[in-house]
Amino acid sequence: MYFAVAIQLSIICIIQSAAQRETQDCSGCCTPTARIPGIPGINFVTTAPGPKGERGEKGEQATTTISQPKSAFSVGYNVDPGRLPISPMKYPFIITNFGNHYNNETGKFVCRHPGIYVFQFTSGSFSGNNNNILTSILKNGQRILSSRQTGSGLNSASNMVVLDLVANDEVWTEPLNTNYNNYNSNAYIFCSFSGFLLYASA
Residue at 44 is within a domain:
no
Q: Please check whether residue 140 lies inside any domain of the structure.
A: yes
- What is this structure's pTM? 0.66
Is the residue at 25 inside a domain?
no
In a domain, 22, yes or no: no
Number of independent structural domains in the chain: 1
Residue 67 located in a structural domain: no
- Structural domain of 145: 72-200
Query: Would residue 147 count as lying in a domain?
Result: yes
Residue 142 has phi, psi (to 5 degrees) of: -100, 125
Q: How far apart are CA 129 and CA 36, in angstroms?
A: 123
Per-residue pLDDT of the chain (202 residues; tens, 9 = 90+): 544 545 555 566 555 655 555 545 545 444 555 566 656 555 555 566 667 767 656 544 444 476 889 999 999 999 999 889 999 999 999 999 999 999 999 999 999 999 999 999 999 987 665 678 899 999 999 999 999 887 777 888 999 999 999 999 999 999 998 878 889 999 999 999 999 999 999 6
Domain assignment present for residue 45? The answer is no
Q: Is residue 139 part of a domain?
A: yes
Distance of alpha carbon 126 from alpha carbon 156, whole angstroms: 9
A 10 A CB-CB count for 176 gives 16
CATH code for the domain in which residue 181 is found: 2.60.120.40
Hey, what's the torsion of the CAs at 61, 62, 65, 66, to 10 degrees? -140
